[in-house]
Amino acid sequence: MDLGSIIGVVLGLALIGGSILLEGSILTFYNLPSILIVIGGTIAGLFVAYPMNKVKAAFNVAQKAFKGGSINYQESINQIVEIANVARREGLLALEEAASKIDDDFLKKGIMLIVDGTDPELVRNILETELAFIDERHGEGRSIFDALGAFAPAFGMIGTLIGLINMLQSLEDPTSVGPKMSVALITTFYGAVLANLVFIPIATKLKLRSKEEMLIKEVMVEGLLSIQAGENPRIIEVKLESFLPPSMRKGLEDSSEGAEG
Amino acid sequence: MDLGSIIGVVLGLALIGGSILLEGSILTFYNLPSILIVIGGTIAGLFVAYPMNKVKAAFNVAQKAFKGGSINYQESINQIVEIANVARREGLLALEEAASKIDDDFLKKGIMLIVDGTDPELVRNILETELAFIDERHGEGRSIFDALGAFAPAFGMIGTLIGLINMLQSLEDPTSVGPKMSVALITTFYGAVLANLVFIPIATKLKLRSKEEMLIKEVMVEGLLSIQAGENPRIIEVKLESFLPPSMRKGLEDSSEGAEG
Amino acid sequence: MDLGSIIGVVLGLALIGGSILLEGSILTFYNLPSILIVIGGTIAGLFVAYPMNKVKAAFNVAQKAFKGGSINYQESINQIVEIANVARREGLLALEEAASKIDDDFLKKGIMLIVDGTDPELVRNILETELAFIDERHGEGRSIFDALGAFAPAFGMIGTLIGLINMLQSLEDPTSVGPKMSVALITTFYGAVLANLVFIPIATKLKLRSKEEMLIKEVMVEGLLSIQAGENPRIIEVKLESFLPPSMRKGLEDSSEGAEG
Amino acid sequence: MDLGSIIGVVLGLALIGGSILLEGSILTFYNLPSILIVIGGTIAGLFVAYPMNKVKAAFNVAQKAFKGGSINYQESINQIVEIANVARREGLLALEEAASKIDDDFLKKGIMLIVDGTDPELVRNILETELAFIDERHGEGRSIFDALGAFAPAFGMIGTLIGLINMLQSLEDPTSVGPKMSVALITTFYGAVLANLVFIPIATKLKLRSKEEMLIKEVMVEGLLSIQAGENPRIIEVKLESFLPPSMRKGLEDSSEGAEG
Amino acid sequence: MDLGSIIGVVLGLALIGGSILLEGSILTFYNLPSILIVIGGTIAGLFVAYPMNKVKAAFNVAQKAFKGGSINYQESINQIVEIANVARREGLLALEEAASKIDDDFLKKGIMLIVDGTDPELVRNILETELAFIDERHGEGRSIFDALGAFAPAFGMIGTLIGLINMLQSLEDPTSVGPKMSVALITTFYGAVLANLVFIPIATKLKLRSKEEMLIKEVMVEGLLSIQAGENPRIIEVKLESFLPPSMRKGLEDSSEGAEG
């Protein structure tokens, strides 16, 4: 699970909680109707905007993004080089067995296409179409979190407007004005916290994760096509590594990269 | 009809209604002049911005988007493959009869072009021009809902300004200040709810629907050209399916797709 | 003159007027200094931002957009087909006489280029350069209305700030606070109405009109080049119609288009 | 010097001044600390954001944009045609003398490249690289005014916050609340006027000026290459004029252009 | 270290400090909980949005951008020309020794590729892939400062909401309202100062620095390929200088450049 995100949310909530406790009590900030209108309204907007299957898919994507940890590029490259070695020694047909041990479905699919003797141009087309759809699906996931980040403050403001309108209707008791206004502002507060501590940052993180995943899959496509072309495994390795940013290459270049950044 | 959107709007209104009832009464939030100025002003802005025929078209597009349910990609592909089989067995001219049984006007038009012996390059040009115009018409529909989502809060604010200016003119009776301000805020409330629960989410949904429709029509163009070229129906099927995201392909790959997302 | 826009502005003003009359009087909302600062400030900003000739051109463009009514695509295509017939029967040189009866300067210029025996590639270049400049000029017109839509609320706010700062300087007479604040808010009100009922919607309409005009001019370019190439008038007609969205083609296809949208 | 911009700023300030005088005195709106915090803060932000040489360059660019008056396209074209005549009559080497009488450094440089017998492809490359850098330098100039238009209101708000925080700390004397709040709002007022009457409009004007300058320089590149290719001066003239919008061509077409717009 | 940025931040803080001192005391504006919630909340949002290694990298990039001073283009070009001379006189293999004296890792890597006899096309590919990744890494650095510039005011507002909600809960003591509201506003103040004096300007400066660095590296790629192709060192110099904006070329052209800008 993604440590940074957990630390971030916990740290943010702790700071907000501490800041509340300095002057008041956490109870002041607990208001069930406010929670219902911000979270419920945000979900309602989401249901109007997105088909249910997209919403489900977006949360799956988000969950995986946070669970997966960082992608190990070097390991993927090693795997491809190993496959290239097998192909060199035992021929393309021997890859069928190798494919069965691979976890990544994208890589596995690519190998099966090679084993089936598919035309190289078609292999590239099929894999890149697949890549384009994975990218689009990721894009939809991000756009859902962007939408959440816009709906939450909007419904926060709607909740505050409801509170203010109700309060202003009955001003007979002046002592109740403050607390009522206070409660009205709580929905705005919820909306702002949800958007800025959860939805917007998650949308950003999904974007980064998606870029990383696309990079490794592009490396795979390049590797698979090189294997099919019967290139030398050592040359394949050099070629694939040039796809990686210097800091991700084998240890040696890390220090020099710092000087370029 | 699109279930998610109905659930979303009903859920949103229920939450807002419940939230109102906790402290006040629904009647407080009913204000005919406010409704007139928000809805009327939004419509007025729309009339200045868009020719009437575009507005009518946009609502048609929206209605269809919500009525149509999800697009069944697999069914469309099956239909094309079936047509390919007919063409293989009985020749391109036999497609005239097949075309008469097809509901989709775009597909029907494409088949008629083939039956007429139109040059393949021209078939592609005509269908892609058509596609570009469908996309543009969808884009206009979306832009109208985007505009509604911007006009509604603007006229909500204009209504509130009118209320405030009127109220501030005559402050003699201090007890009337609260209720008048309350009424003034109702237009802002209407504008915010309309924009965030209806117009903005609908604009988003239209965008998604349009993308899906463009995808299936691109599949049709590809399929029609393959039929005209006399390709093997089985190969056509494989080719068209590679256009679909893995989750839309025949059942088998659904589970593996999850792992890639 | 563009009926929708007139209806829109009148409807918007009537709603706003009616809404004002419910609680106060129109006179409350008439304030000459506020009008001066919003309209004058907006014009001042415009003068700093745009050379005077561009401003004049923008208002010409806007005026024409509202006067012209919808473009009749079918009529333009008929005209081109007729020219093609003349060219077929009597040769390209006979077009000189035909050109003299044509209102559209763009089309006329194109025909004259053909009559002069200009190289087809150069005809295309000259007409497309012309097209690019018409598009850019339209773009400038739109950008001026976009700027007006941004300046109006900004100077509305500046006017309100002036009123508030003046009022806060002299609070001795508490009964004057309300009316003064009321007057201060009127500039914000003017800015918001001008922007949302006039400038922003006009910018949108100009964009749509410009797209339509570019489309018909692109059809003309294609038609002129086909005429120069000596193509069959009937084929030219089919070709040009494929440029139009289905709903603009000869009556027959209107109903089917609905099903595709 | 650019008349429109001066008229705009003077008109805007006169309207604002008049509007102030109606209710208060100009002195109320003079507040040295507010001026310092808005202008000083904006400059401070600028220093953090841009290296000093860029800031200096941006003000040079702006100054020149306002000083230069409109570009005379026709005159530039005449100049190029004249050079083409010289080249025709006396050969390319004779251009060296002609170059010495030319003010425009870009044109002069281009001629020298031709005189030096540089390869046409290289001439184009060098001139277009130069063009790209002029465009980028202009873009940086604009971006600096865009930044100023964003910093000014931000520091206006920061100044107002400082005033409010100070005022709220010591509410003992209720009669001082109004004037203090009034002074606090002055910084917001300064920021809004500076941004909307000066910085944002200047950024817009720079954009238009830059476009005009790029256009005339593109005409020069085209003309220089035609001269080098030894084309007929008359044909060069026709070719270069097709680069201009109709309204900029020799008088005759002005009226017809109006009908197209 | 970057002098302009230091002057900017110091100037900005001095102005803000001076402005505070005119009416109140600096102590009024010191509030530890406010600092914690703005800075802490911003960092928390950052942790959710970006993996820790990216955050660390962004600060490295920023630090270097401010430390490095301006890039000396002319010196880099001289260096490349010198290498070209060595290659001419002593052959490509002699470059290995020259490479050892070069600080820039990118240039060194390029030379080693040439020494190794790598295919020119591959050299270009590898260096441009590297360039693309440096650009992307810079882009991530900027996007982090953009995010900070958005989070800081958001958490400033959240802090103010907390203060207001707490204050409104207990209005019994009217004399405490002012000071409490004052404190509540301090977080908004912190957020606005941090965003507008630090984060947003730094994001802008990083963008400019990155552009400069990309330019010099593109010059290097071009130079290396010319060296590998065995071009004349003098021609290489002319070619590389045409990449630079006129003001960066050898002294002579500075004055003329001013006239073009």
Q: What are the pLDDT digits (tens) for D90-124?
A: 988 888 888 888 888 889 989 988 998 888 888 88
Pick the closest to residue C4 from D189, B48, A151 (CA basis): B48
In-domain check, residue D159: yes
Hey, are the CB atoms on E47 and A181 less than 8 Å from each other? no
Structure tokens at E176: 């405490």
Reported as a single tens digit per residue, the pLDDT across E25-76 is 888 899 888 999 999 999 999 999 998 888 888 888 777 766 756 677 888 8
Residues of E in contact with A4 (CB under 8 A): 47-48, 50-52
Is residue A258 predicted with pLDDT exceeding 90? no
Q: Are E156 and A201 in contact (CB under 8 A)?
A: no
**Residue D261 pLDDT greater than 80, yes or no:** no
* Structure token digits, residue E93: 């293999």
pLDDT for B147 equals 94
Lookup result for tokens 């294997």: A227
Do B129 and B235 reside in the same domain of the chain? Answer: yes
Span B17-23, mean pLDDT? 86
Residues D40 and D142 in one domain: yes
D223/E contact by beta carbon, under 8 A: no
Pinpoint the alpha helices (H) of chain B: 3-23, 32-35, 41-49, 52-67, 73-90, 95-100, 105-115, 120-169, 177-193, 200-228, 233-241, 254-260
Give yes or no for D9 touching C (CB within 8 A).
yes
Are B231 and B253 in a shared domain?
A: yes
Cross-chain CB nearest to D33 (options E19, E208, E245): E19
| D140, D162, D171 ranked by CB distance to E189: nearest | D162
Q: Are residues C143 and C172 in the same domain?
A: yes
Shared domain check, B63 and B13 = no
Rounded to a whole number of angstroms, the distance from the CA of B254 to the nearest CA of chain C is 30
Backbone angles phi, psi at A103, to 5 degrees: -80, -40
D140: pLDDT strictly greater than 60: yes
Higher pLDDT, B258 or E71: E71
Q: Is residue A50 part of a domain?
A: yes
- Report the distance separating Cα A135 and Cα A132, nearest Å: 5
Read off the pLDDT of residues D19-59 as tens digits, 9 standing for 90 and up. Answer: 888 877 888 899 888 999 999 999 999 999 998 888 888 88
Can you tell me the ipTM of this complex? 0.82
Angle at E60 between CA E50 and CA A76, to 5 degrees: 55
- C147, C155, C159 ranked by CB distance to D204: nearest: C147
User: Which range has the worst mean pLDDT, D16-30, D51-65, D137-151?
Assistant: D51-65
Average pLDDT over residues C85-106: 87
B216 and B198 belong to one structural domain:
yes
pLDDT of residue A157: 96
> What pLDDT is recorded for position A261?
37
Q: Which residue has the tokens 């119609």?
A: C241
Q: How far apart are CA E91 and CA B2, in angstroms?
A: 73
In chain A, positions 154-193, which contact chain B (CB-CB < 8 Å)?
154-155, 157-159, 161-171, 180
Does E146 or B211 have the greater pLDDT score? Answer: E146
Q: Is residue B92 one of the residues assigned to a domain?
A: no
Nearest-by-Cβ selection for B169 from C3, C179, C258:
C179
Asked if residue C81 is part of any domain, the answer here is no
pLDDT per position as a tens digit, A163-204 = 999 899 877 777 888 888 999 999 999 999 999 999 999 999
Contact C8 B136 (CB under 8 A): no
Compute the average pLDDT of residues B86-113. Answer: 88
Question: How many C-beta neighbours within 10 Å does residue C17 have?
Answer: 13
For residue C119, give the 3-state DSSP assignment.
Answer: coil
- pLDDT greater at residue B134 or residue B69: B134
Q: What tokens does C8 get?
A: 């829109």
Nearest to A158 among B2, B196, B258 (CB): B196
User: Residues E129-158: what's their mean pLDDT?
Assistant: 90
Residue type, A51: P
Name A14's Cβ contacts closer than 8 Å, sequence gap at least 6.
Answer: none
Res A249: pLDDT = 61
CB atoms within 10 A of CB D208: 16
Q: Where are the alpha helices (DSSP H) in D101-119?
A: 105-115
Report DSSP state, residue D101: T
**Residue A10 counted as domain residue:** yes
E199-216 tens-digit pLDDT: 999 999 888 888 888 888
C43 or A235, which is more confident: C43
Domain around A15: 1-30
Position A48 pLDDT exceeds 80: yes
B109 assigned to some structural domain: no
- Domain membership of residue C111 (yes or no) is no
Domain check: are B185 and B218 in the same one? yes
**Pair C6, C41 in one domain:** no
Judgement on whether residues C41 and C14 belong to the same structural domain of the protein? no
Q: Which of residues 12-31 of E touch D (CB under 8 A)?
A: 12, 15-16, 18-20, 22-24, 28-29
Share of chain A above pLDDT 90, in %: 33
Interface contact C196, partner B, CB < 8 A: yes
Q: What is the pLDDT of residue D45?
A: 93
Sign of CA dihedral D32, D37, D38, D40: positive
Q: Which of A10-14, B106-110, E247-251 has the lowest mean pLDDT?
A: E247-251
The mean pLDDT of chain B is: 85
Helices (H), D68-119: 73-90, 95-100, 105-115
Query: In terms of domains, do E146 and E26 share one?
Result: no
Question: Hey, is the C-beta of E152 within 8 angstroms of any chain A C-beta?
Answer: no
So what's the pLDDT on residue C256?
38
Which of B:55-84 have CB within 8 Å of C?
57, 60-61, 64
Q: Is the pLDDT of residue C53 over 90?
A: no
CA-CA-CA-CA torsion sign (A26, A28, A29, A34): positive
Q: Is C208 helix (H, G, I), strand (E, B) or coil?
A: helix
pLDDT digits (tens, 9 = 90+) for C186-195: 999 999 999 9
pLDDT at residue E224 is higher than 50: yes
Residue A15 CB-density burial (10 A; 0-12 exposed, 13-18 middle, 19+ buried): buried
Through-space distance between the first and last CA atoms of chain E, rounded to whole angstroms: 29
Residue E255: predicted pLDDT:
37
Q: Is B161 among the domain residues?
A: yes
Domain count, chain B: 2
What's the pLDDT score for residue D165? 92
Residue C120 sits at the chain D interface (C-beta within 8 Å): no
pLDDT at A215 over 80: yes
D152 touches chain C (CB under 8 A): no
**Co-location of E140 and E154 in the same domain:** yes
Provide the mean pLDDT of chain C: 85
CB contact under 8 A, B33 and C18: yes
- C42 & C17 share domain: no
Half-sphere exposure of E56 (CA within 13 A, CB side): 6
Chain B nearest-CA residue for A59: B261
Query: What pLDDT, on the 0 to 100 scale, is given for residue C259?
Result: 37
The Cα–Cα gap between B217 and B223 comes to: 10
Task: State the pLDDT confidence band at A253, using cuts at 50, 70 and 90.
Answer: very low
pLDDT greater than 50 at residue B261: no
Write down the pTM of the prediction. 0.86
C144-180, pLDDT tens digit by residue? 999 999 999 999 999 999 999 989 987 777 788 888 8
> Is A32 in CB contact (< 8 Å) with chain B?
no
Residue A259, Cβ density class (10 Å: 0-12 exposed, 13-18 middle, ≥19 buried): exposed
